[in-house]
Every structure is written in C-alpha cells, then in structure tokens.
Amino acid sequence: MLKFFSNFSFNDSFAHGVHPPHHKEATEDLSIQRVPFVSHYIMPLGQHIGIPSVPVVVVGDKLKRGQMIAKSKGFISTALHSPVAGRVKNIGMYRYVDGSFREAIEIESDPYATQQFSGQASDVLNMDINAFIDAVQQSGIVGMGGAAFPSHVKYSIPKEQKITDILVNGAECEPFLTNDHRLMVERPETVLRGCEILRQQLGAARVTIGVEKNKPESIAQLQKFLTDDIPIDIAPLEVKYPQGAEKMLIKSIYNKELPAGKFPRDLGIAVNNIGTIVALADYFDHGMPLIERIVTLAGPGMESPANLIVPIGTPIRDVLDFAGGLKKETREVIMGGPMMGNPIADLDAPILKGTSGILAFTEAETARPVEYPCIRCSRCLDACPYFLNPSRFALLARARLFEDMQEKYHVMDCVECGACTYACPSNIPIVQHIRTAKDALRNIKVDA
C-alpha cells in the first residue's frame, strides 16, 4: 500500500529517489571513541581531487604532530600534515585503497611521544578573505563527505559573484554511516562555530544546515545551542536517497535547480559537509590541521560497530583490529557508504581524508543476484533524481554505443548515486554499466 502512495510526493524535496533501509541503528547511539596511535602511518600524496601534494620532508626527518609534510602544488591541491609525532621512514610507492600503487610518505610514530598537539588559535573573524583561503589551503582541509575536493577552491569566489547562502550538508543519506550524525550530537557548538566562521568570511547572509529527519537527536542538539541572533537555520529533510547529493540538497532546501555544468556558487550558495565545517573550526580555533577524522565502522560483517576518531594515514587493518575486527563471514570491505562507496582492495591501505566509513559486508549483500532481462518497468526512471534514462543507458552500454549515451541521453550528468541499480527488479548492474561508459567516454576525449 505504502509503495503505491510513494508514487506521489507531497513534501518539499527533490523528485524521485529511493528509500533504502537506513541501517543506522547499530552506530547512531555510540559515542565517538579515539583510536590509539599505531606504529606506522601511510600518507598518500594524492588523496584529494587535484594535483598531488609535494613532500617537504626527507627520509629520517623528525616530525611533530600536525607538522606539514607535503605542500600543495598549484591551486587545486592541498597540504598534508603528520598525524603523529615520529620520523619519516620512507617516501615511496604504497598500496592505495583501490589496489594501485601511489606515492606516499610512510611515518614511523615515536612510541615515547606524548602525542600532545599544541597549536595556536587565529583571529579568523578579522582575517581578510585571501589570507583565509590561503590558511585553508595550508590546513589541508578537503570536502569530508567523500569526494575530498580541496575546500579553499570552493571558497575562492570570483569577484563578480557573491555568496548569499551557506548550505551545510548534514543529510548523511548513505545507509550505515553515522559519522556526521555523531559530530552534530557531540560537538554541536563546534558545528555552529564553523558555520559562523565560514559565513563571516564569505559574507553570506544565512547558513542552513540540512539534516535528514531520521536523525532527530542531531536536530535537537543543534537547535539547543542555536540562539536567535545567529543566522543559522536547521532544515529537517525527508529521508530519501540521495538527499545528500549536492544538487538534490540545493533543490530540497532552496527549491533551485543547479543547471548542468554550473557550480553552486553560480547560485550564490556554498555547500559544505558537517565534517568539513568542524575541521574548519578546529583549525582556526585550535590550530589543528586536518590530521584526523571521524570514521564509522559498521555493516553486517563488522564484529563491533563503532564511531571512531582516526588519525589520517592509519592502516585500515589497524583500525579494524582496534574495533574488534571483521566477522569470519565478511566477504567485502567498503570505504564510504554502501550505495556509492568503493571496495577496499587492500586492508593495509590507509584511512584517507575522505573516508567517512569502513563497512563490512557478508555473502548476503555481495552475492551477485541473478540478472533478468530488462522488462522496461521504468522503476529506474522513477528512481533517478536527475531524470535520466538508466534503462536506455544499460542497453546502450551493452551495445558499446557510448557516444550515443552522451549525445542523446547525457550520461555524463549521472553522478553514479546507484538509485537506479537499487531499484532494478531485474538486478541489472546499471550504474556499473554507466561507469564503464563514462570511463570510455573520458578516454575518447583524451584521445581526440
């Protein structure tokens, strides 16, 4: 019955989308714990979108916790900092989460160090915008929702444009993940402080924090610390995937459609993740660069789910060991959420700046379901928040008509949220086909 009525949406939200079970019960009430320091850390130089950082240390250098170890190269790049006090052990090729080898700095931690961090607060509210952007680039802060796009690039607004609204993404629509939720519950004041810093620096009129309604505790905590004189709104959002996608969030909150190929700043909006906002506040109020983040450990294959503060660079295996490890029946470990995350090819790869969760899945989720022919039921069209035609994409991708997919159906507009694949009763790996096609199209572009 409910399924039928879900055809009609009466509330202010983006159209279409799917309703996967949110599975947040296991970790939503677990407070954030700190992972103890381990012996080795691996800091890949290219863990953000853009040009990889350039090391500023050499093998053997002694490091303080939070000391810069790599600087940004060019504008769309950011800095790296040592997550521990220790010594540079090696600069070489290390396995990345996807199984490839990437250049990284290996740090051996000093077992006798106190690991006390000492930094200085800066007078951020009186800083000029260029100094602010520079400081953010120095801090190594990137978008913490998963994409890891250097934040200072977002804050560099061309002169002719003006930011009027700051949108803080606390939707956390991916099932299982609770890292943003716990930040809002445990550090609401820091969240609000970060919002205020950003609002003043960008000269925006208002800040809106969008939170899905399945996190009432987050909403209540934020509201508790909100006073009338702070221009911050909390917007409860319909629980629907992908509510946390940038364009969907803008649609849900401002009822504006971000045109294809445009950025939120073209609408006068700056979108930031909760984690990013907290990192900003920590950097400007305590001088702490981005050297640790909150990671949710969950999933049916996880021995004991948890929300952890993990120093960036900690090998995933060490984090798992601390939390109790994987269950025997675990068949796959994912970085990020179950809808858009990436499978981890090597558990010795490190936690990255963009790692929101480590999820373990068993046979039940990873067994490839029997695939049936497409019966054109149009459930994928009804799921796609971008109003694309996933059914057609799957068909064309199979025929390897990739150029048709772009020219006639705009496959590059797809953000690979996976809603179509979730909704498909024939279990067709639609989004996987789309990824193949997008990859092929990018290669065609490069060749041409």
Partner 1 sequence: MSNNNPNNASGKDPHLLLQSAPLLHQKLTTPAAMKDVWIALLPASCASFWFFGISAVLILLTSIAGAILTEWIFTPTEKRRFALSDTSAGLTGLLLGLTLPAGIPLWMAFLGGMVSIGLGKVIWGGLGSNIFNPALLGRAFLLGTFPIAMTTWVSAGDLSDFFQLHSSNLALPFMQGQLDAMSEATPLGLMKFEQQVTSFGSLFIGNTAGSIGETSGFLIILGGIYLFLRNAINWRIPVAILTTAALFSLILLLVDNQQYPSPLFTLFSGGLLLGTFFMATDPVTSPLTPKGCWIFGIGIGFLVVLIRVYGGLPEGVLYAILLMNAATPLIDRYTQPRIFGRDKQNLKNNNKADK
Q: Which of residues 17-46 bind partner 1 (CB under 8 A)?
A: 18, 20-21
Candidate list 388, 393, 396, 405; residue touching partner 1; CB under 8 A: 388
Q: CB of residue 343 vs partner 1: minimum separation in angstroms? A: 4
CB 110 within 8 A of CB 39: no
Instruction: Pick one of 114, 128, 261, 447: the residue that binds partner 1 (CB under 8 A).
Output: 261
Tell me the pairing of strands 330-335 and 357-362: antiparallel
Is 431 one of the binding residues for partner 1 (CB under 8 A)? yes
Burial-class residue 359 by CB neighbours within 10 Å (0-12, 13-18, 19+).
buried
**Nearest distance from residue 390's CB to partner 1, in Å?**
10
- Which string of DSSP letters, residue by residue, matches 17-47? -B------TTTTTPPPEEPPP-SEEEEETT-
**What's the closest the beta carbon of residue 260 comes to partner 1, in angstroms?**
4
Using CB under 8 A as the binding rule, whether residue 373 contacts partner 1 is answered as yes
Answer for which of 257, 324, 399, 442 binds partner 1 (CB under 8 A) is 257
Smallest CA-to-CA distance from 234 within 191, 266, 203, 182 is with 191
The Cα 13–Cα 247 span in angstroms is 11
Q: What is the spatial distance between Cα 437 and Cα 405, in angstroms, rounded to a whole number?
A: 8
Residue 200 Cβ vs partner 1, minimum distance, rounded to whole Å? 30
Residue 330 binds to partner 1 (criterion: CB under 8 A): yes
- Return d(Cα 274, Cα 334) in angstroms, integer: 21
77 binds partner 1 (CB under 8 A): no
Q: Nearest-CA neighbor of 77 among 8, 142, 126, 121?
A: 142
Q: Measuring CA to CA, which residue among 94, 21, 16 is closest to residue 337?
A: 21
Residue closer to partner 1, measured from CB, 76 or 345:
345
The Cα–Cα gap between 106 and 353 comes to 16
| Contact of 104 with 178, CB cutoff 8 Å | no
In three-state secondary structure terms, 146 is coil
In whole angstroms, how close is the CB of 263 to partner 1 at the nearest point?
Answer: 12
Q: Does 375 bind partner 1 (CB under 8 A)?
A: yes
Distance CA 30, CA 422 (A): 28
Contact letters (x/-) for partner 1, 96-125, by CB under 8 A?
---x--------------------------
Considering only 12, 25, 189, 407, the residue that binds partner 1 (CB under 8 A) is 407
Sheet bearing 86-95, strands edge to edge: 40-44, 101-109, 86-95, 62-63
Q: Whose Cβ is closer to partner 1: residue 202's or residue 339's?
A: 339
Nearest-angstrom CA–CA distance, 21 and 368? 19
Site stretch for partner 1 (CB under 8 A), options 44-52, 129-137, 191-199, 335-343: 335-343
Q: Which of residues 152-191 bind partner 1 (CB under 8 A)?
A: 175
Of residues 67 and 436, the one with the C-beta less far from partner 1 = 436
Q: Is 145 in the site for partner 1 (CB under 8 A)?
A: no
Query: Quick one: which of 108, 186, 217, 346 contacts partner 1 (CB under 8 A)?
Result: 346
Work out how close the CB of 4 gets to partner 1 at its nearest, in angstroms, rounded to a whole number: 5
**One of 332, 401, 403, 440 touching partner 1 (CB under 8 A):** 332
The answer to whether residues 331 and 301 touch, using CB atoms and an 8 Å cutoff, is yes
Q: Is 357 in the site for partner 1 (CB under 8 A)?
A: no
Cis peptide before 242 (omega within 30 of 0): yes
**Closest by alpha carbon to 49, among 146, 139, 132, 134?**
146
From 34-42, 58-66, 68-76, 259-267, give the range in contact with partner 1 by CB under 8 A: 259-267
- Binder to partner 1 among 56, 381, 401, 440 (CB under 8 A)? 381
For residue 299, the minimal CB distance to partner 1 (Å) is 9
Q: Is 366 in the site for partner 1 (CB under 8 A)?
A: yes
Query: Is 303 among the residues that bind partner 1 (CB under 8 A)?
Result: no
CA distance 309 to 242: 26
How far, in Å, CA of 350 to CA of 34, rounded?
16
Q: Does 446 sit near partner 1 (CB under 8 A)?
A: no
Asked if 322 touches partner 1 (CB under 8 A), the answer is no
Q: Which of residues 409-428 bind partner 1 (CB under 8 A)?
A: 409-410, 412-413, 418, 421-427
Residue 207's DSSP bridge partners are 166, 232
Please state the closest distance from residue 131 (CB atom) to partner 1, in A.
34
For partner 1, the closer CB: 293 or 433: 433
